[in-house]
């Protein structure tokens, strides 16, 4: 892989200084929250979060995107993956979390909306929120940061080992984000159809926005 030269971080202007400082504080608060949350997760889940975050950092560095946002979103995305579906539905209804009818009928995807709700008080950034909220299906409004988080989850080495066909996605990941995600959906849609799994409507919109 060709290594890019180190990037210099521009010094924020005086007008942006307060916003910059607030973002640092919020990111530190989120990291503290996540460290505590992840420390008590099942080992298989905490390991997945750390692998996903490691990949997200590599992709962010390569594509010259915000490394910290990618890492924090990746660490956040599955923090309630181990919750029971009934508990997820109860949280959504109790907290009045905005969800699609499809998601309420298929509560196995509710861990994204619930996780994004849990980190809401620790972020001042819509990109992190959206990356976590839609990490299962993807979303047609995703920017590169959100695409990186989405892809990092899908090509976790353990997932690729279980499904070798995802190796194609992993190989494309350092060439073109959009092409790698298109390849992922090509594979995943076939997998869903053959296993009679209903496709998330937002996945279809996301896919169509890329082709």
Q: What is the pLDDT of residues 173-205, one digit of tens each?
A: 999 999 999 999 999 999 999 999 999 999 999
Q: Is residue 185 left, alpha or beta, with left meaning phi > 0 and alpha meaning psi from -120 to 50?
A: alpha
Split at pLDDT 50, 70, 90, the class of 2 is: very low
Residue 4 pLDDT greater than 60, yes or no: no
For the chain, what is the radius of gyration of the CA atoms?
Answer: 17
The model's pTM is 0.89
Instruction: Quote the pLDDT of residue 1.
Output: 44
Instruction: Quote the pLDDT of residue 124.
Output: 85
**What does the mean pLDDT of the chain come to?**
92
Q: What is the pLDDT of residues 86-112, one digit of tens each?
A: 999 999 999 999 999 999 999 999 999
Determine the angle formed by the axes of helices 126-133 and 111-118, rounding to 10 degrees: 150
Instruction: Quote the pLDDT of residue 20.
Output: 59
Instruction: Quote the pLDDT of residue 126.
Output: 95
Which one has a higher pLDDT value, 98 or 19?
98
Q: What is the pLDDT of residues 28-46, one digit of tens each?
A: 899 999 999 999 999 999 9
Q: What is the pLDDT of residues 41-80, one digit of tens each?
A: 999 999 999 999 999 999 999 999 999 999 999 999 999 9
**Each residue of 134-158: b (16+ CB within 10 Å) or e?**
bbbbbbeebebbbbbbbbbbbbbee
Percent of the chain with pLDDT over 90: 86
Split at pLDDT 50, 70, 90, the class of 27 is: confident
| Contacts (Cβ under 8 Å, ≥6 apart) of 196 | none
């Amino acid at each position: 892989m060709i290594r890019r030269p180190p990037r210099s971080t521009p010094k924020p202007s005086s007008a942006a200084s307060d916003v910059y400082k607030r973002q640092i504080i919020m990111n530190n608060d989120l990291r503290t929250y996540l460290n505590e949350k992840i420390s008590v997760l099942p080992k298989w889940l905490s390991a997945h979060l750390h692998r996903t975050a490691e990949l997200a950092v590599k992709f962010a560095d390569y594509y010259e995107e915000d490394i910290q946002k990618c890492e924090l979103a990746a660490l956040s995305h599955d923090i309630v993956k181990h919750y029971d579906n009934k508990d997820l539905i109860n949280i959504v209804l109790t907290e009045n979390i905005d969800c699609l009818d499809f998601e309420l009928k298929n509560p196995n995807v509710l861990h994204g909306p619930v996780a994004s709700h849990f980190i809401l008080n620790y972020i001042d950034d819509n990109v992190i929120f959206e990356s976590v909220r839609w990490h299962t299906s993807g979303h047609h409004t995703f920017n590169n940061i959100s695409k990186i988080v989405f892809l990092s989850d899908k090509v976790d080495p353990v997932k690729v080992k279980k499904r070798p066909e995802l190796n194609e996605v992993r190989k494309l990941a350092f060439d073109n984000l959009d092409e790698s995600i298109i390849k992922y959906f090509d594979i995943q849609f076939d997998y869903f159809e053959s296993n009679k799994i209903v496709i998330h409507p937002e996945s279809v919109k996301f896919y169509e926005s890329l082709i």
